[in-house]
Amino acid sequence: MKKKNVLMTALSLTLVGVIAAGSTLAYLTSQSDTLTNTFTVGEGYGTEQDPGFYLDETAAKVEVVEGKTVTTNPTSKSQFGRTDEGNTYAAMSIGDTIYKDPTFHLDEGPESYIFAIVEGVDAMEADGVGFDFDGWSTNWVKVDGSKGRDGYYRYTSTVTAGTEIAPLFTNVSLPAALKALPDNRDLTNITIKGVAIQAANLATWQDAWAALAEDAPGFRPAA
């Protein structure tokens, strides 16, 4: 930008010098037409308090019965409403299936690429209890094509505000083939987070992914 400004200034000085040396100053008195240019800024992602992009899932039911807190695990979509704070589930038995559908929502904002990071699923699948995570969506694919469930994912299409986004997966179960459950297991937590980045001026998801290293270091630290 600096070089362009310097070049334009030099050209203007040369032009004035040529006109001053000739007898065509009358041309400078003609008034040109007026061009009026109006600029607007595109739609953003809402406010800091309500950014218009969030993650939720079907909630577990938590109630107090006779002075005790009782948790009921969901077995179908939105059975007990939704939660954006995550769940602490009741103890599962062999053969049980929990409906767990982590889902991103873009309620406000420009057309966007959506990326997610999943952590803790591999450890739970490899644990001696061996949880099964089923119903993994084909709309979510690994950024780097690596094996396993943990890692960075991208949504396979850009998303416009109000578009339904497929959940990452829908079920977690304990295999019916298990013979026994060990007592007092300390299991790894599952954590999921995501980011939306505007699609404008980013021709491909690879361009968007590269931009995240600078624009969202808390999500994708720079190498």
Residues 56-87 pLDDT 10s: 999 999 999 999 999 999 999 999 999 988 89
Q: What is the per-residue pLDDT for 2? A: 30
81 or 36, greater pLDDT = 81
Mean pLDDT lowest among 21-25, 89-93, 212-216: 21-25
Residue 68 lies in a domain: yes
Mean pLDDT lowest among 37-51, 101-115, 155-169: 37-51
Mean pLDDT on 7-28:
38
Q: Which domain holds residue 62?
A: 53-215
Residue 130 lies in a domain: yes
Q: How many domains does the chain have?
A: 1
Q: Is the pLDDT of residue 211 over 80?
A: yes
Q: What is the per-residue pLDDT for 219? A: 85
* Token pair for 123: 């450890």
Q: What is the per-residue pLDDT for 28? A: 53
In the chain, what is the greatest distance between 2 CA atoms, to the nearest angstrom?
A: 104
Residue 4 lies in a domain: no
Mean pLDDT on 132-145:
95
Task: Give the side-chain half-sphere CA count within 13 A for 90.
Answer: 17
Mean pLDDT on 117-144:
91
Residue type, 86: G
Rounded to an integer, what is the distance from CA 107 to the centroid of its chain?
A: 12
* Token pair for 66: 């006779």
Residue 8 lies in a domain: no
29 or 83, greater pLDDT = 83
Q: What is the per-residue pLDDT for 25? A: 47
SS3 for the chain is CHHHHHHHHHHHHHHHHHHHHCCCHHHHHCCCCCCCCCCCCCCCCCCCCCCCEEEEEECCEEEEECCEEEEECCCCCCECEEECCCCCCCCCCCCCEEECCCEEEECCCCCEEEEEEEECHHHHHHCCCCCEEECCCCCEEECCCCCCCCEEEEECCCECCCCCCCCCCCEEECCCCCCCCCCCCCCCCCEEEEEEEECCCCCCHHHHHHHHHHHCCCCCCCC
The residue assigned the tokens 């021709």 is 203
Residue 30 lies in a domain: no
Q: What is the per-residue pLDDT for 152? A: 95
Top-confidence range, 38-42, 147-151, 197-201? 147-151
Q: Residue 173: beta bridge partners?
A: 97, 132
Residue 40 lies in a domain: no
Average pLDDT, the chain: 82
Mean pLDDT lowest among 9-13, 15-19, 61-65, 194-198: 9-13
Residue 148 lies in a domain: yes
Residue 18 lies in a domain: no
